[in-house]
Amino acid sequence: MGGSPILALSIAAFPESLPTEMLGAIFAAADERVRAAGGLLAGGHTIRDEEPKYGLAVIGTVRPDGLWPKSGARAGDALFVTKPLGTGLIMTGYKQGAAGTQQLERAVHWMKTLNKESADALRQFEPNAVTDVTGFGLFGHAHEMAERSGVQITLESERFPAIDGALDLARKGVRTSGDPRNREFAGPHLALGEISEALEALAFDPQTAGGLLVSIPADRGPVLEAEFSARRLFLRRIGHVEEGSGVLVR
């Protein structure tokens, strides 16, 4: 996208009881991921805390013509997501003993997968609107895109992609603590058709390190799918954009 180099700063809180080797591994892994994303880990701040915490503050600039707004979706666009859903369901299920290590490893794999390669593949297609699918879940971020673009987004629930094991957990009644908040935030703006409770829970599920929600002219969709397939990247068409307002779920 151009602009100055992206700099990241570590924000860490660790108990003194943690082995130094573990702290070193955390910082080394963070440095590797930041470099893979095209940035530099330039330092940071560490404090003592009984509960381990680690995060990054990212600083950088970008040219105005390199920005992808969430407010540009247009009637006639097709909607795609670049990662399957369900990290919240699986993490919560694992904590509750309802999911095993295999499901956990799948969720961790997707959380560790950067959006950089998907963004690189997408850039040449000049999408109208892009946002990430994170804490507000698919429904919440679709609502934001529809509202800010002044359009109606129609989602096809049977095409929602799920990490293996996530829907089984949803059928068992597993829900995250963020589920009710997301329903409160996005629910009033949804028109739900015949959708299963499990798929509904999947779309309200808050995601950690989720993928991109992309609105792109429909005639570019097949070529976009071919490009992602050639690069062996995940992509799923999940709906389209129409005149109107709100989010319609079929």
Domain with CATH 3.90.650.10 in the chain: 68-249
Q: Are 148 and 240 in contact (CB under 8 A)?
A: no
Average pLDDT of the segment spanning 207-215: 97
Report the CATH superfamily, name and number, of domain 68-249.
Answer: PurM-like C-terminal domain (3.90.650.10)
Q: Are 44 and 58 in contact (CB under 8 A)?
A: no
CATH topology of domain 6-64: 60s Ribosomal Protein L30; Chain: A; (3.30.1330)
In this predicted structure, the answer to whether residue 3 has a pLDDT above a threshold of 70 is no
Q: What is the pLDDT of residues 103-147, one digit of tens each?
A: 999 999 999 999 999 999 999 999 999 999 999 999 999 999 999
pTM over 0.95? The answer is: no
Tell me the DSSP string of 129-191: EEEE--TTHHHHHHHHHHHHHTSEEEE-GGG--B-TTHHHHHHTT---TTHHHHHHHHGGGEE
Domain with CATH 3.30.1330.10 in the chain: 6-64
Q: What pLDDT score does 1 carry?
A: 42
In this predicted structure, the answer to whether residue 2 has a pLDDT above a threshold of 60 is no
Per the model's pLDDT, the better-predicted residue between 45 and 149 turns out to be 149
Q: What is the pLDDT of residues 4-57, one digit of tens each?
A: 567 888 989 999 888 889 988 999 999 998 888 888 888 888 888 999 999 988
Give me the percent of the chain exceeding a pLDDT of 90: 77
